[in-house]
């Protein structure tokens, strides 16, 4: 109770310093916030492209419908497969007519339907990688009903490579941003506490225990960090809205990310305060 | 209560601030620690308060030895020893009453007792009218009295007073000395550092320890007291 009261009055006594530290925390986390928005949107874009990764098994002409359905059942037994869709020869032709209007005349003059029936296989999100896709394609090609299997191997490989590069870049850059943010927050809070080292000394001189001195500073650090985190969320939201409305449509980051940002602001503040106070506690 | 045994305090650049000093201030005793500026009075006080440790020798205060007391445990000693600092060491931005109250907060005094006790001590040192003033707004003498009230509020067994009358006029000085003598009569051991020889002469019955360039050159209690 004393610690909370003391922390709040400490912030009141030096509002400028509190605001300054919070602003530094906010700017440090704002950079992380912007990076998160960019990363999240790239991730979303890649996911949307990946959702289009599917395997098409073209069936031999004359394959009975029941054999095609039986094949679908067997495919559903594979753990990688999320869904299958049977496309009859007629459906294929109708789709081709609709999708390729420029060839309308060719299609309408046909006496026999040259397009094969096919089964489109959708892969579970967690198996959307080149190895799994190639494995399912390999399994498919073994069945006698299947004449050919297509999944755009080359672009699928590239897509997944891009995803891997993206993940590594996110981890490295994100890690670097987080470290820089932590250092800035640490420095800001250290400066704020340095300005009050006399107070810490005096408290020690009149017989306060280290814990008693530390607690209000920890709470102050936590609150300063939270305040900075909240300001960073507001800044990021503002920047997001600006781009979203004026440049191009973006997705806002998930709530968990926002909470994580606020939480890490608070945590950084808490830890930085603890470390800074500890230094001064050793002095007298 | 306070016992220094062959205490030397040496600084890397300045050299020896105290050189092989030994004395013993017993329970309920009042002693002046005199000497010119730079003679080692404040260093002695800081060593007794364990804000510094001796380079060699031992300081024992109220059962705590400078060789055995860790930095973590120092608060136990400081709660038993009141200290009026030469430079007051008041918490900035807080009122006189808050400064005194803080010393009670740290010892876990029940909340409803803190403000009345702080107020009582402040009126005892003649500051009843200024309890709500921020310490920076007070004069040097007033700040000194806040520091005194804070040092006494926990009823310590030992009082260290470093030039406690340095910023006071004669009348306030006398008032302060009366307060000390009263506390001493009630059993508090007091070691008061001062360079004011007139003040020392005004209390001829009080023990005097004199430092010159870090050495204890005179102890009015004689060889017995210097052991």
Q: pTM to 2 decimals?
A: 0.74
CB contact under 8 A, B75 and A207: yes
DSSP label of A231: H
CA R_g for chain A: 30
CB contact under 8 A, A206 and B103: yes
Nearest to B89 among A205, A212, A281 (CB): A205
Helical H runs in B126-221?
140-152, 170-185, 197-201
CB contact under 8 A, B90 and A204: no
The answer to whether A205 faces chain B, any CB pair under 8 Å, is: yes
Give the whole-angstrom CA distance, residue B63 versus residue B69.
10
The answer to whether A14 faces chain B, any CB pair under 8 Å, is: yes
Asked whether residue A121 carries a pLDDT value surpassing 80, the answer given is yes
Asked whether residue B85 carries a pLDDT value surpassing 60, the answer given is yes
- pLDDT value of position A155: 79
- pLDDT value of position B226: 46
Give the whole-angstrom CA distance, residue A73 versus residue A143.
13
Kindly report, residue by residue over B111-149, the tens digit of the pLDDT.
Answer: 899 999 999 999 988 899 999 999 999 998 899 999 999
Cβ pairs A/B, distance under 8 A: 49
Strands B30-34 and B207-212: parallel
Measured between CA atoms, the residue of chain A closest to residue B91 is A199
- pLDDT value of position B72: 87
Buried b (16+ CB within 10 A) or exposed e, A75-95: beebebbbebeebbbeebeee
Measured between CA atoms, the residue of chain B closest to residue A207 is B75
CB contact under 8 A, A206 and B74: no
Kindly report, residue by residue over A242-259, the tens digit of the pLDDT.
Answer: 999 999 899 999 999 999
Average pLDDT, whole number, for chain A?
A: 88
Nearest to A206 among B72, B92, B106 (CB): B106
Residue A268 Cα, gap to closest chain B Cα (Å):
25
């Amino acid at each position: 109770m004393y610690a909370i009261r003391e922390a709040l009055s400490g912030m009141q006594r030096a509002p400028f310093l509190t605001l300054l530290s919070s602003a530094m925390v906010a700017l440090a986390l704002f950079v992380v916030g912007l990076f998160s928005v960019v990363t999240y949107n790239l991730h979303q874009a890649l996911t949307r492209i990946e959702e289009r990764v599917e395997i098409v098994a073209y069936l031999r002409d004359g394959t009975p419908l029941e054999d095609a359905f039986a094949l679908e059942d067997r495919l559903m037994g594979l753990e990688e497969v999320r869904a299958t869709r049977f496309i009859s020869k007629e459906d294929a032709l109708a789709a081709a007519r609709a999708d390729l209007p420029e060839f309308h005349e060719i299609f309408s003059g046909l006496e026999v339907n040259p397009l094969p029936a096919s089964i489109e296989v959708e892969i579970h999100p967690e198996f959307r990688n080149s190895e799994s896709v190639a494995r399912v394609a390999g399994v498919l090609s073994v069945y006698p009903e299947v004449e050919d299997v297509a999944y755009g191997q080359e672009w699928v490989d590239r897509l997944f490579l891009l995803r891997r590069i993206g993940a590594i870049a996110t981890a490295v850059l994100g890690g670097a941003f987080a470290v820089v943010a932590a250092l800035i927050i640490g420095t800001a809070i250290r400066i704020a506490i340095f300005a009050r080292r006399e107070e810490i000394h005096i408290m020690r001189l009149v017989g306060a225990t280290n814990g008693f001195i530390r607690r209000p500073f920890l709470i102050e650090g936590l609150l300063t960090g939270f305040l900075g985190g909240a300001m960073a969320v507001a800044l990021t939201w503002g920047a997001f809205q600006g781009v979203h409305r004026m440049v191009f449509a973006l997705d806002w980051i998930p709530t968990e990310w926002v909470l994580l940002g606020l939480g890490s602001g608070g945590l950084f503040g808490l830890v930085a305060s603890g470390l800074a106070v500890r230094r001064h506690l050793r002095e007298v | 209560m306070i016992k220094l045994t062959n205490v030397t305090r040496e600084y890397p650049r300045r050299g020896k601030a105290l050189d092989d000093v030994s004395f013993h201030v017993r329970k309920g005793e009042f002693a002046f620690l005199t000497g010119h500026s730079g003679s080692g009075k404040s260093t002695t006080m800081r060593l007794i308060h364990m804000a510094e440790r001796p380079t060699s020798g031992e300081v024992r205060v109220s059962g705590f030895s400078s060789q055995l007391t860790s930095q973590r445990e120092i608060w136990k000693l400081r709660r038993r020893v009141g200290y009026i600092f030469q430079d007051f060491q008041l918490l900035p931005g807080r009122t006189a009453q808050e400064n005194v109250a803080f010393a009670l907060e740290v010892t876990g005094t029940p909340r409803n007792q803190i403000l009345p006790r702080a107020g009582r001590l402040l009126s005892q040192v003649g500051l009843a009218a200024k309890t709500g003033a921020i310490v920076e707004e007070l004069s040097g003498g007033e700040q000194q009295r806040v520091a005194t009230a804070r040092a006494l509020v926990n009823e310590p067994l030992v009082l260290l007073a470093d030039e406690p009358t340095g910023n006071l006029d004669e009348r306030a000085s006398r008032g302060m000395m009366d307060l000390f003598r009263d506390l001493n009569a009630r059993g508090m051991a007091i070691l008061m550092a001062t360079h004011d020889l007139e003040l020392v002469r005004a209390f001829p019955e009080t023990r005097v320890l004199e430092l010159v360039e870090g050495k204890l050159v005179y102890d009015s209690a004689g060889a017995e007291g210097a052991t």
